[in-house]
Structures are given as structure tokens and as C-alpha cells.
Structure 1
Amino acid sequence: MTEQEAEYAGDLFGVDPTPGIVAVERAGDRGIRIYHRTHDGVREQLVEFTPWLVVDAETVPNLPRQMSTTLLDGDGRLRVRCDAPNWAAWLDVYRWLREAGRPFATFTSAADQYLVDSGRGLFRGISFDTVVRAQIDIETLGLDPTVEGARILLVTAAINGESAIVFRGDELSEPDMIRALTAWLQSNDPDVIEGHNIFNFDLPYLIERARRYHLELEWGRDGSPVRVGGEQRFKAGARSIPYNAARIYGRHLVDTYQQIQRYDTAGQLSSYALKPAIRALGLARHDRTYVAGVDITAAWDHDRERLIHYAIDDVLDVNVLSELALPTEFYQTRILPRGLQSVATGGPGEKINDLMLRAYLSRGYSIPTPGPPRGYPGGYTELRRTGRFSPVVKCDIESLYPSIMLVDDIRPASDELGMFVPMLGVLTKRRLQAKRREQQSTGHDRAQWRGIQTSFKVLINSFYGYLGYSRGYFNDYDAAERVTLRGQDLIQNIVVQLESNGSRAIEVDTDGVFFEPPADVRTLASEEALVARVSETLPTGINLAHDGRFLGMLSLRLKNYALLGYDGTVTLKGSGLRSRREERFLGQFLHDEVARHLAPDQFGDPRQAYLDLAERIIDGRLGVDDVSRIETITDQTFISPATRRLAEAVHGERIGERVAVYERADGSLARASAFDDDANSSYLLRRLRDFAERFRPLYATDQEFHYTFPIVTQRTDLATLRAARPTSQLTLFDLTN
């Protein structure tokens, strides 16, 4: 590492590499308590702390005399650092600034302020697999802890997925179970407490049941109770999900229900509930015990040991999801001046804000204020061809926007110190190093390096988005526009180069191109050679990579396509081909029809399969899993007239939950658990025909399409329909009674 790189690395990671810090908390009005994990356990350190804010010069005359001020270098509007004599004084000034609408920069957490000032970070020198993490889960009578008859049946806990312990309601009273869990947590002293939907279910339930016995959940490292912070929102991609925030002094709360949603960036999972997510990810143990939610009371009464095994499996599954999804946030915590819980629930824009604020303040430099938001162009997308294509290759510009920013030195205009791009460069270099270490390692070492390189990747990809972040102190919409326009030029040039080499571009989307290669390119080596030739035409630092090869592709409309892999794997992309709200049999229909349209000799005739499925619907041979769909409960579910039927079916469910429902023969919706072979066949046949419409762009004429996918009703003579042959006189009227 060069001297300059080392300097920027200090700006990026903080100047103090002290290892072993697992938590930082405010202690009184002027102190910070630091928890260090050592071989002998956790030790405490108390240090003095000065709360601070950064304001503009016009604000200073209105501040209390007890605030000491320091003029910062540079031309940023926020150029006066104000130090408060204590936390109470800081809080008064903070509230006044918000009410007065004055611009300022700070962190609302004293711990975060300390980490910025000190240059320290949490979990440095600690790998994810050595962090002490507690998993907890409860089984209850009912979901509402306030109703008559509600109580906790079982409390299950484990440390890092091992040594599970169960506190049983047939051996302990409910208050004694709560006390036992608290004692267990204090004895094991975990750094992190995890649960699946812990914010919206386990904690609120435990807190309410404890309150009824005049108890508190004294889980803090200082013996303090869990602090409830009201409703906040967690963002996972475009989704914003409410949750009941809570904090534990000296520990980090992590909800795997949230983390698995961030992990599922491609939106592959149809449910984020614990058991469905584990199954969909292929992580279910073969001996896992299952008990349906509606059967918990009966299992407690008649099959208690089975319920206990089920509860133990739940905490083990929480650990599995944590090991899968949390390392990315964990290794970001080693970089950012924030706690793990804050990193795990915070958005990407705030993380870059943190890095830039720490870097500027560590050099005594002033902070700009966010620029006013405006629109700017996005990535280049184009559907060049529809239809069936075989074979197909995908090429992709590696890290398009970060690469453009590095190559063209695109940075915020307000970045006086020129730190934005160099910090991006340090992260990029560190990520490549970590990726190489991952490839060279095995076992726990490989998992550690995967978590590190993924954490770098997430931060790297956040730099471009930060330019257009409305609350980013260093945002710059002009710079964001330059990046996207440069990206458009590059990807369009790639299309020209591909087609000049005899390829046919099918779809272009921001940083990648699907194309049908020329006839003499049919092996992986020849495909990679073609992509390499095109890459050589790009500027130094911009690299085009081979990103996949497929037996075939159905291109239907922009961003709606299906891919058939050489191994028979089918991938559906786009809202027209996949939706979490579709009935399962429809998703399977689309999946199978893709393979049949691309390789009918191998996978069967599309028309015959369509008619077979219609016959199964008419005969009532589809099961509840086939005819039910997943609905997500939102703020609007119980207030919008458009969702009245759904509201009636899912009464009592929490916002954010996903519930399986189906349509009954009378047109009402019901939970899948109430299925009684009473699905609405007419509705299902209409849905089947609607989904077949996705394939219309593949047919040259309406007549050909209607022959393959005729309208079928419960009165249709399927035998006559099967015997029909495509003729110029064929009409829909000929096919139905």
C-alpha cells in the first residue's frame, strides 16, 4: 500500500485500530462505556466524552454560552463545531435546531459520536464466527399477549446455534420463565441477541407478559431493561417495512426476518417466514420437526415433546439464517462508526454519509449541506428483439458505475478534500484482495472472507446511489447524471461491437447485454474469447465479463424474459413472469412452459400440458398448496375497500406478515389452513388463461396463439378440444360449448 493509500485508508476505516470492542454506550452526561471482549470475557472501560454538533456561522449567536465553538477549515456551510458540556445541554441544542429548521450535522447516538471522534470501530480483530450470539424464540398461546388466556408455553435459547436450552411452562411459572431467560442471558453475556421477527413478536410479547407480573426484561449489560423506541421502518430494496424498535444496553438486537430480506436482493423467496425461507434456501435439516401455527396448542396438550423439538429447531434455524445473512452487515460495522444493530437496520445512503463525515471531521474540515433534489437519467435499457433465441450469452460490465467514477474521477463538487473517489478506490482494492482470499480459502476462513468482500461490495455500490441521496451532505445530482450518461454510452458501444462481430443483441439493461452469438461460437471458451475481444475496445479500467450462458431465452417484453440453462434450470425475470402474489400452480405453469417452448422434444408439448392442467382444475385435483397465493399485509390491507376480502380473511395478522390465501367457490378469500377442496375452479381457469397471455409475443398470429392456449371453461368439451387441429377456419367458438 502506498503512503497516499494508507492515508485514505485511515480516513475510510478510522485512525484507531483498537481490537476487541464489542459495544459502546453512553454513560451518564459526560461518559462513554466501552465493552472489550478478551479471552477472559468482557471488560468495561469508562472514558470521558464531549457531545458535539456542526452548524453554520449564522446559528452560533443563538447558541447557549456554555457551548464551546471551533471554526473548521474549508468552504462548507457547516463550518463551526460546537461542543456541549454534557449530554443534557447537547440534547437541548439538538431539539432547538430541529424545531428552528436550522442546518446541522451530528449523530443522535452518543456512541456514534464517540466512534467518529476517536476513529475507533466495533468488532475489529474479531471474526463473525467468534462473536457471541444468542438466539431466542418463544412458543405461545395466541399471538396477542393482552387477551385472556394468552401465555408463554416455551422459551428456547441457544448460543451460536449450540447448547440449546428450553424453559418449559409445565415446569416453571410464566414469570419464572421470564426470570430464567434473563438470568441465562446475563450468564452467557452475548454481544448479539437474535430472533426471527423478534422486533414485532417475541420482544413485544415478552415485554407485555413481564409487565403483567411487574417485571422488566433486564437484559442490558448494566442490568437495565430493554428500551422500546416506537415504530420505525426498515428498508430492503424498494420495500419499507414497519417494526417496533428496541435497544439493549451494551448489546445488539438483530432480526433475521429483516436480514433475510436484505439477503434476498433478487427477490427469489416467496416468503420470509422462518420455515419457508429455510426450505426455499435449501438449508432445512432432514430431521427438522414441523408444527403448524394452528396446531401449537394441540401439540402442547397432546404431543409436548414434539413441540419442544420444534422450538429447538426454530432457534437453530435462526442461527442458520444469521450465519447466512448477517456477516455482510457485521463486517461493515468494523468500518463504519455505528453499532451492528444500527448498521443492520440503516440505509446505504447514511453509511456513506458516516464515512464522509468522519473523514472530514477527523481533518478538521467543514461539512457542506445537501443539494436540492432533482431528477436525472437512469441506466440505458432497450428491448431489441422478442421471440425465442438459442443459444444465448450474457455479458456484463463489472461494477459499472463505481468503475466509471474511478476511471473518470467523478466526485461530488463539494468534496473539497477530494476524498470520495480515493476512498472508493481503497474499498475496491480491498474487495478484490478479499475476493482472492475467499477463492484461496476453505471452511470458516472462506466464509469470513466472503463476508468481508460482500460487505465491501455493498458499500462500493452505495457510492453512486449516494450522489443522488437527498439527505447526503455531499450529494451531487450533476455528478450522478454524468455517471449514468457515461454508462449509457459504454453499453451502447458494446452492443455495436457485439453486432459487428455477428451477434444479435436481445436485451440491454444498464450494465449487461443478452445476445445470441454467431453460428461459429458455441463453446464456453469461444464465448469468453468473443466477450474479451469486445472488452478490449473499452477504456482502461472498464472491463466486460462473460456473465452466463444459456440453452435458450424467451424474450417477451422489456425486462420480462425467461432463461433455460444447459442443466434444465429455468429462470424467470420480470413482473409479467413472476410474482409473489400468484397461485403456486401458475408459477409452476410458467416455469414449465418456458422449457416446453424452448425445448419441446425434451420437455413436452406446450398445448398438451396446458390442457392437462385445465383438466386437473376442472376435476378439482389441485391441492391447497397449488391454489393458494401469498399476500403481504400492509398498512392499506385493513383500510382500503379494494382489499376488503383479504382483510376479512387475515383479520388479526400483523403488518409485514405474509399469509397464504385462496379463493373459495363463493368468491370469498380464506386462509390456506381453512382449505376444504372448495377452490373456485372458474377463477382458476381464468387465471390460467391470463397467465398464458404472457407467451403471446412468441406467436406470429393470434390464431396460432389461440390454438396453443384456447379458452377453457367448466363446460368445455376437453376431448373435442384435444382432437382439434390447427386450420385456417379454427376459431374460439369451435373449441367451447
Structure 2
Amino acid sequence: MNGSVCGVWVDDDGRVHLTVEDAAGRREERLDTFRPFAWLNDTPPEAHLVGLSLERLAGDGPYNRLVHADDRGAFERYASQARSSGIGFDAIRPFESQYLLQHRLRLYRELSFAQLRRLQLDIEVASPDGGFPDAERAEDRVLAIGLRFRGQPRLLLLEEATDAAEKRLLESLNQALAELDPDVIEGHNLFKFDLEYLRQRCRRHRVPCAWGRYGQKARFRSSRLKVAERWIDFVRCDLAGRAVIDTYLLVQLHDISTREMTSYGLKEAAIYFGVTPEDGADRTYIEGRQIQHVFAQDRVRFCAYLEDDLRETQGLADQLLPTYFEQTRTFPTLLQEATLRGATSKIDLLFLEEYYHGRQACPLPPEVKPFEGGYTRSFQEGVYRHVLHFDVASLYPSLLLHIGRNPRNDTLGVFIPLLRQLREYRLKYKLLARTAPQPEERAEAQARQASFKILINSFYGYLGFSGARFGDGELAAEVTRRGRELLQALIDEFAKHGCTLLEADTDGIYLSSDRYFDDPDALLAKVVPILPEGIELEFDGRYPAMFCYKAKNYALFDGEKIILRGSALRSRGTEPYLKKLTDEMIAYLLGAAKESPLALAEEYRQKLRRRALPVEALAKSESLSQNLEAYERFIAEGGKPRRASAEAALKLSPRPRMGDRVVYYISAINQGRGSDWQRARALSLFDPEAAPYDAEYYLAKLDDWLTRYGPYLGVKPEEPHGVQGELGF
């Protein structure tokens, strides 16, 4: 196809609508056709084949028939018949992925990330008395719709507090989107707030949500996303020919591997990613309850606040979206799907593309039995100096290529050749990221090599996933076995050269070495000869100090900033006053701060006794792990345990959804209610007279903190609290 596809949508009649950018940068709409298809495991009755064509496939897989429909209507009719007749029916969704796969097309193939038409969106609303917004309430209003397109803000403001003015404001959004024609609409908490709120207000004023291309309205449906061990419920919005990107979800997906973020709100995330300086310099802040007042009294300040929200949203997407953009250029998928689907479903698309064009029968996902994972061990506790980190580059993919065996049910032999090809792409862009002449080219190459790194590392995880069509638990177990043996060999070799081993985890080793701290390459040269061909060990960083707490939980100081690993040292569920103590302790132990946290601990003790410590310093924040309705049914049926966060959430209106964070404190014991769940109360409902916090409860937590961390600060277990100890390292 001439030009780069930057939008695709399959309508209800099966016609394909395309937005294509030509060599001159102009956008044009085109129409195409395609024949929807599915794999079957049996031959359907002749009467069911109206509007369909059937062909047998090569190979031994159970899905050995391929059916094509003349149009989408015939496809949907047969899909219903197949389900009722018991014939296995395996189809790719959405239809846009089918079209891309069928034609071996990719979105944005010839575009750079900088050429993507990106628009950021953020709304500000008014509610009675500045309380919690509710779009279904007549008195609520959309005050402003902030847009930012290619770095330039455009603020749509409510002219007056009337229904007619709000209707005009909503209509102006439709006009702006039609004029700017973005490929992507980005926002922070876009699904759970902005777009859903706009949808409700549009419904009230009978304004169509005409936000898509090709004259199409937005489509909404309930959805959920799994982020590590949590599920997040949200109302998904799909726009024909455009991608909707929620940076609130992207920051949580990013934090799966790092586990460093304590809040996913826009302001906190912008500081974490360096979009806004930590001191908030030149950033306008307005407290939530004051927004409508500032809108009325200080319009300049209000607009500056909204523009900063848009700038921070773009800044987050600048860092988090390129990986998914590159995935969209690699997989036959939509950009929005790339952000909301896991690696397994995306890798499946690559395999299915080859099996479709090779007319090869498809397997069922095999059963994957549990197997031993990677090597993990903590060798030391305490603070160590002159720390080096070495990492085996792409350990598991490298071992897979070294073994050279395809998964057992990959009859077409696609797995290893694909992995090798993707690794070659990664090495190519990794080189360009260092050597390309222009900064923009280097940045683009860096994004691509990072995306390919994530992708090739996902191939191993795919093997061991029980839902993976081409999974192979035995091969995955063989890879981890060899990985453990390799890491143990490296550990032994480092020890031979006088290094103190600190921490080892899967493919990386931390060690302390006074001798080699200033010359890690010399140590690397002594160790690499033991590695098998195709396996590369890399020096990955040096740190003046490291605090080893327990396995997979440690802190590093690189001379400028502290890096935390593991949930024990920075759990998002930790009360703020204890988190501050832990942060100060780590900084003190690593030599990044001079003040011991013991003085602060004693200050907290005295303030708690007088209830002078603000409740905000005590309130814990937790994500709801299930819907409150499901929790109520669970409790009604005698389920245990009761959960403090859920009990606090039940008292809120409107009720939070699964995945939302609930901030609560523990109130004083009252009328025999002694359990945490009985006394949990949302922070927004805090009443210092009727429901004060339980000072003794939080004093006991402070005692627990000192018991856990006091020995690292020189406090002996038998010493009274508040004694200033000395470091014992």
C-alpha cells in the first residue's frame, strides 16, 4: 500500500476505512474490503456455509479448517451457528487486527513517533459546594475542556453557567476534533473520568459524542485490565480510526517491573518521571475543591493550571507511549489494543499471521505444569560500599537461541526464526541509538531497541504461560534450569576474584569490590571466558553504597539519587509517616543524608500522644481488589477476612470501583469495635471530634517500625525507644 496507514476501522458492513498519510504528509481517507476469517476444528453442515468458503489446512493441529466469509454479516451469523452446534470457532478480534494480519499491514509503518498526530485532553468540572463530581447530577458542569495539539494548547471554556452554554462547549469539542484530526487522544484517567463524564453530559444535552473519524460516534463498554496482581475496572472508549491512550493506566503498567511509585496521580507521576521538578517550580497547583472558585475569580490562574495538566500528560506519554507505538509497528494490532493487551496475545498475532498465510493448522494452548523459576538469592544484610552490578544481556532469549528448539506444537517452525529476527532488529537499533548523527534519530532508535528488548524477553514468558497457543512448559523449564546454572557459575567466578556477593536475581548480580570498583571492565574480562557462545555479560552500573534488607528488597545510591527495589522498603500501603521514616533511614544509611531518622521518630511519638500529628500523615492508601458489590456478597455468605479498605469504601458516595485507591485511617475504639475493619474510615470523612484517629494504634505501628529497622540504626532491641544509636557497620 502506498503511504503509511495511521487509522483503520471496519464498519458493521465489513468495509474497511483507512486514513493514510502520503509522502508529502497529507492525510486522505480510503476504502478497502476484506474477508473475515476463523479457524475451525470440524466441518460445518452444508446449510451453514452460505456466504462462506472453507478450506482444509496442512499439519496436525486440531484447528485444521479455515473459513472465510464474504462479508461481516455472514461471518457473525456463522459465528453464532458454530457456538450453538459445538464446532470449535477460533477468530481474531477486533476485525481491524484481522485486516492488518490478512494484508501483512502495520499501522504507522513509515511514520516516526514525532510524526504521530497526538492530542492531549483534560477537563475541569464544577459540582455543588466543590464536592465529588457526579456527571448525572443536573447541577454539575463541565467548566473547561483543555486540548493540546502538537505542543500548542487550546482551551475551550464555559461561557456562562447555563445548560445552553455547556451544550455549546460540548459541541465545540466535536468541532475541534474534526478540525485537528488526531491519530491519538491522550489523557490521565481518561477512561474512568474525563471521557465518561463528557459522555454523561453529552447525553444530558443531546450532543453526539462525535469524536471518531469517518463521522463515527464514540463507543463505550465495560472493561478491565490486569496490572500485576490487581484488576482495574473502567469504561472503555473506542473511537473509529483513532487510539485512546490513558496515561493513568500506562504509569501503572510501567510500575509493574519497578514498583517504585507511591501514587499514580498526574501530579505525582509527572514529578516521578521528571516532567515537572520535585519542588513544583513554575507549575500552577489548585486544590480540587477550589477549582470552580478559581475559574470564577482568577481565570488566568485557572488556565495556567489546566495548561500544566495538559503539558504533564504529554510529558508522561512522551516517555511511556513510544514502546507501544513500536509494538504497533511490529504487530498487526491497533495502538489502543497494544496498551490494553498482554504480551501473550500480541505474540500470538505474529505466529497466527504466519500460520494463516502458510495455511497451517493451529494448535490449542497446551497444559503447562509448574516449574522452577530463576535463580534468586540475597547473600548479605546491611550497608555495603563500592557496589558493582553485572547483567546477562537478554538471558532467557539468548538461551532459547542457544538451545535452538521450537515449541513442541509449533509445526511450522516459526518461534526461533522470529525470535532471531527480532533480536537482530534490536541489535541494529541499539547500534543506531549510539551512532545515528541526529539526536532525533538516536531517540527514535532508542525507543525501538527498548521495544524490541521487551518483546524478545516476552518470548520466554510466553512459553511458560498456560494460555499461550504455542507454549511449551518443558522448554521453559529447560531455559530456567540453564539460567540458574549459568548464574551460579558466574557467582562462583566472581567469588574467586575476591568479590563480596550481595544479591543475585535471575540474570543480574550485585557485588562489592574495592579492587575493581574503578575498573569494572577488568573484572568483566576475567569472568566472561566461562560464558557459552552467544551469551553476553554486561557491566550495568556502579554505586557508592547499597543497603541489603532481604531478598529482592534493597536500596542503591548512585551518588545523586536513591533507587529502591522491592515492596518491603516502599509499599504503597505504608502510612505516610512510616514511609517518611523509612526514606530518611535509607538516605542516612547510604550516606545521602546526615540526619538520623531517630529524632524524627521521637518527634512523631510526642505528637501522636497529643494527637498533634495530622491525620493525612497516618492515612493508608490501598487499591480495591474487587467490586464492592462482590465484596458485600462475599461477606453476606460468611466470607473472611473483612478488609479495612473495602469497609471504608462502603461508606463513600459515589462508591469507588475495583482498582480505585481508597485512603483511610483507623479511628479510636468505640463501643467495643476493636478490629481494624470495624474502625476503618475514609480520610474524606475524618472528624477530629466524633471520629478521631486512634493514637495508640499508630504508636504501636511506630514501635513495630523501630523493632524492624532499629538494629540498622544502632538501636538494640532492649533499649528504650528514642535512644539515639550509632551505626554498627
Class of the TM-score when normalised by the shorter of the 2 chains: 0.7 to 0.9
Displacement of 1:200 after TM fit?
1.4
Contact 1:563 1:572 in 2 (8 A): yes
CA distance in 2, matches of 1:652, 1:27: 36
1:431 and 2:443 equivalent?
no
Distance 1:376 1:510, change over 3 A: same
Rounded to whole Å, the distance in 2 between the matches of 1:636 and 1:516 is 47
2:469 match: secondary structure: coil
* SS of the residue 2:430 aligns to: helix
Q: TM-score, normalised by structure 1?
A: 0.87
The residue number in structure 2 matching 1:179 is: 171
Residue correspondence of structure 1 range 139-158 to structure 2 within 5 A: 139-142=124-127, 143-158=133-148
Q: Is the 8 A contact 2:19 2:29 kept in 1?
A: yes
Give the aligned residue type for 1:469.
Answer: F
What is the match of residue 160 of structure 1? Answer: 150
Distance of 1:98 and 1:384 partners within structure 2 = 56
Q: Describe the SS at the equivalent of 1:34.
A: strand
Q: Identify which of 206, 210, 222 aligns with 1:231.
A: 222
Provide the residue aligned with 1:508 in structure 2.
Answer: 504
TM-score by length of 2: 0.88
For residues 533 and 476 of structure 1, the distance between their equivalents in structure 2, rounded to whole angstroms, comes to 36
Contact 1:19 1:126 in 2 (8 A): no
Secondary structure of the corresponding residue to residue 43 of structure 1: strand
| Residue 189 (structure 1) aligned to one of 181, 194, 217 | 181
What is the aligned counterpart of 2:64 among 79, 92, 96?
A: 79
Q: Does 456-465 or 579-588 show the bigger shift?
A: 579-588
Q: In structure 2, how many angstroms separate the alpha carbons of the residues matched to 1:329 and 1:101?
A: 37
C-alpha deviation, 1:645, in angstroms: 5.0
Equivalent of 1:695, from 692, 709, 726?
Answer: 709
Counterpart residue type for residue 523 of structure 1: F
Q: Which residue of 1 aligns with 2:34?
A: 49
In structure 1, give the amino acid aligned to 2:19. Answer: Y
Instruction: State the match for 1:335 in structure 2.
Output: 330
- Work out the CA distance in 1 between the residues paired with 2:168 and 2:601: 59
2:54 & 2:726 partners in 1: Cα distance?
88
Q: 1:579 to 1:98 in 2, by over 3 A?
A: farther
Match of 1:530 in 2: 523
Matches within 5 A, 1:337-736: 337-441=332-436, 443-517=439-513, 519=514, 521-525=515-519, 527-565=520-558, 567=559, 569-597=561-589, 599=591, 603-605=594-596, 607=598, 610-615=601-606, 617-618=608-609, 622=613, 626-636=617-627, 639=631, 641-643=642-644, 646-647=648-649, 650-652=652-654, 654-655=656-657, 656-663=659-666, 669-671=681-683, 680-695=694-709, 704-707=716-719, 710-711=720-721
The amino acid across from 1:146 in the alignment is E
Q: Which amino acid aligns with 2:10?
A: R
Q: 1:537 & 1:220 partners in 2: Cα distance?
A: 57
1:170 maps onto 2:160 in alignment: yes
Shift in CA distance, 147/587, structure 1 to aligned 2, threshold 3 Å: same
What amino acid sits opposite 1:257 in the alignment?
Y
AA aligned to 1:224 is Q
Alpha-carbon contact 1:564-1:594 (below 8 Å) kept: no
Q: How many residues align?
A: 691
Over 3 Å counting, the alpha-carbon distance change for 1:235 and 1:447 in structure 2 is: farther
SS in 2 for 1:32: strand
Cα deviation 1:94-126 (Å, max 9, x = unaligned): 234445564343212222111111111110111
Q: Give the Cα–Cα distance (whole angstroms) in 2 for the partners of residues 317 and 560 of structure 1.
A: 31
Kindly provide the amino acid, as one letter, of the partner of residue 201 in structure 1. Answer: F
Q: Which amino acid aligns with 2:342?
A: G
* Equivalent in 318, 323, 340 of residue 323 of structure 1: 318
Between the aligned partners of 2:64 and 2:416, the Cα distance in structure 1 is 23
Distance 1:137 1:570, change over 3 A: closer
Take 1:419 and 1:220, find their aligned partners in 2: how far apart are those partners? 37
Higher mean C-alpha displacement, 96-105 vs 585-594: 96-105
- Hey, what's the Cα distance between the residues in 1 that align with 2:361 and 2:454? 27
Q: 1:293 to 1:608 in 2, by over 3 A?
A: closer
Q: Kindly state the Cα deviation for residue 634 of structure 1 after the two structures are TM-superposed.
A: 4.1
**Counterparts in 2 of 1:326 and 1:301: CA distance versus 1, 3 Å:** same
Q: Which amino acid aligns with 1:213?
A: H
Q: Residues 235 and 345 of structure 1 are in contact (CA less than 8 Å); yes or no, is this contact kept in structure 2?
A: no
Flag structure 1 segments of 5+ consecutive residues without an equivalent: 1-15, 712-717, 727-737
Aligned AA (1:685): L
Contact 1:386 1:698 in 2 (8 A): no
Residues 183-262 of structure 1: pairs in structure 2 closer than 5 A: 183-228=175-220, 230-262=221-253
Do the aligned residues in 1 keep the contact of 2:51 with 2:69 (CA within 8 Å)? yes
2:17 is matched with 33
In 1, the alpha carbon distance for the partners of 2:652 and 2:405 equals: 50
Determine helix, strand or coil for the equivalent of 1:326.
helix
Whether the 8 Å CA contact 1:381–1:508 is kept in 2: the answer is yes
Q: Aligned to 1:358, what secondary structure does the other structure show?
A: helix
Note the C-alpha offset of 1:62.
8.2
Equivalent residues of 1:665, 1:679 under 8 A apart: yes
Question: Residues 352-406 of structure 1: CA distance to partner in whole angstroms, max 9, x if unpaired?
Answer: 0000000221222221111123212111212333344333322221111111111
Once the two structures are TM-superposed, the CA of residue 659 in structure 1 deviates from its matched residue by 4.8
Pairwise CA distance, 1:660: 4.4
Does the aligned pair in 2 maintain the 1:699–1:705 contact within 8 Å?
A: no
Following the alignment from structure 1 to structure 2, what is the Cα–Cα distance between the partners of residues 133 and 605?
47
- How far residue 220 of structure 1 moved from its aligned partner, in angstroms, is 2.1
* 1:219 Cα offset (Å): 1.8
- Cα distance between partner residues in 2 of 1:630 and 1:401: 36
CA distance in 2, matches of 1:19, 1:70: 33
Where 1:551 maps in the other structure, the secondary structure is strand
